[in-house]
């Protein structure tokens, strides 16, 4: 894989409209991430309009962070629109191991054929039905421990499965890649993972899901590296990160991407 910069340039040229049904913690930062990257974000969730709006969007992200039944219904309605129209959508099963309610909702959402499933190791393990020790949005399990679960989940659902961690693991069940971009400050900033879903969705518009996901994660991690070089802690990291998403060029992305086949 070497065409990351082209994918970034294409995404920026088309500025896809990404519809996000995400948690309350993530909404503002995620919108800023998408705008800085060059996409067009929208947050819409009422059952009275969510399917109609999804019909206008190029891609969808669903994140169960601050879930409740009305939002779960909205997620299903919007995902159904994407499924039936063949447009990409990304599922982030935040804290799925923590409660029975999250497991039920994720079970239903997986029937809507997500294009990409992205989570930390504990979440991917929980989703694959393997006992995990997850708590909150932390990843108590290592990426390596979740690789078999990720391949299995990809084969079972047809989704590309991405495991976020110090080195990310991305697989479609057959091929797999590792993305080494990123920085240890990133888990000290909230909703960086949630916001990445939007960038993956934007890259996946009109593009095959596996290389789109890998390219989005390399770009995102590289922005994290640049931000960390300028930051004095997790506070100053945030503006520097958005600046980096905005300024990184396709050529820079190609030069700095740390991607290898797994």
For the annotated binding site for substrate, the residues are: 43
Question: What radius of gyration do the chain's Cα atoms show?
Answer: 16
The residue from 84, 111, 129, 135 that contacts its own copies (CB under 8 A) is 135
The binder of its own copies chosen from 65, 114, 119, 165 (CB under 8 A): 65
Longest Cα–Cα distance in the chain: 47
Helix, strand or coil for residue 137? coil
Distance between start and end Cα atoms, the chain: 12
State which residue, 35 or 130, has the beta carbon closest to its own copies. Answer: 35
CB of 6 to its own copies, least distance (A): 22
Which residue, among 84, 88, 96, 31, has the nearest Cα to 57 in the 3D structure? 88
Separation between Cα atoms, residue 245 and residue 37, nearest integer Å:
5
* Residue numbers 67-96 binding its own copies by CB under 8 A: 67-70, 95
Binding-site size, its own copies (CB under 8 A): 62
257 binds its own copies (CB under 8 A): no
HSE-CB for 189 with a 13 A CA cutoff: 27
Instruction: Using CB under 8 A, pick the residue from 2, 24, 131, 261 that binds its own copies.
Output: 24
Chain centre to alpha carbon of residue 209: 12
**Binding of its own copies at residue 41 (CB under 8 A)?**
yes
- Residue 56: is it exposed, middle or buried by C-beta count within 10 angstroms (0-12/13-18/19+)? exposed
Only one of the segments 4-12, 19-27, 78-86, 114-122 lies at the binding site for its own copies (rule: CB under 8 A); that segment is 19-27
Please check whether residue 186 is in contact with residue 163, taking contact to mean a CB–CB distance below 8 angstroms: no
Interface with its own copies, residue 31, by CB under 8 A: yes
246 touching its own copies, by CB under 8 A: yes
Q: Which residues are annotated as a binding site?
A: 43, 118, 164
Sequence ranges of the binding site for ATP: 118, 164
Rounded Cα distance between 130 and 148, Å, is 10
Residue 191 near residue 29, CB atoms below 8 Å: yes
Compose the 171-200 pattern: x for residues touching its own copies by CB under 8 A, - for all others: ----------------xxxxx---------
Interacting residue ranges for its own copies, rule: CB under 8 A: 17, 23-29, 31-32, 35-36, 40-46, 48-49, 52-53, 56, 65-70, 95, 98-102, 135-138, 187-191, 231-247
């Amino acid at each position: 894989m070497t065409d990351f910069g082209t994918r970034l340039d294409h995404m920026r040229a088309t500025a896809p409209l990404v519809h996000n049904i995400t948690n309350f913690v993530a909404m503002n930062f995620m919108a800023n991430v998408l705008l800085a990257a060059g996409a067009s974000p929208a947050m819409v969730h009422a059952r009275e309009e969510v399917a109609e709006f999804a019909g206008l969007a190029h891609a969808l992200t669903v994140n169960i962070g601050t879930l409740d039944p009305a939002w779960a219904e909205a997620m299903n309605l919007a995902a159904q629109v994407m499924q039936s129209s063949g447009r990409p959508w990304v599922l982030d099963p935040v804290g799925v191991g923590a409660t029975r309610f999250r497991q039920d909702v994720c079970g239903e959402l997986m029937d809507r054929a997500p294009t990409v499933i992205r989570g930390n190791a504990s979440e991917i393990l929980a989703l694959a039905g393997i006992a995990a020790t997850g708590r909150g949005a932390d990843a108590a399990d290592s990426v390596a421990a979740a690789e078999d679960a990720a391949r299995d989940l990809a084969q079972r659902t047809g989704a590309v499965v991405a495991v976020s961690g110090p080195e990310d693991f991305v697989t479609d069940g057959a091929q797999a890649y590792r993305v080494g971009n990123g920085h240890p400050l990133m888990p000290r900033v909230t909703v960086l993972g949630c916001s990445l879903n939007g960038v993956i969705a934007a890259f996946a518009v009109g593009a095959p899901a596996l290389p789109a996901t890998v390219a989005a994660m390399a770009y995102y991690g590289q922005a994290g590296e640049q931000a960390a070089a300028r930051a004095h802690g997790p506070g100053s990291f945030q503006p520097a990160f958005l600046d980096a998403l905005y300024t990184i060029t396709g050529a820079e992305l190609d030069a700095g991407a740390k991607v290898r086949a797994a």
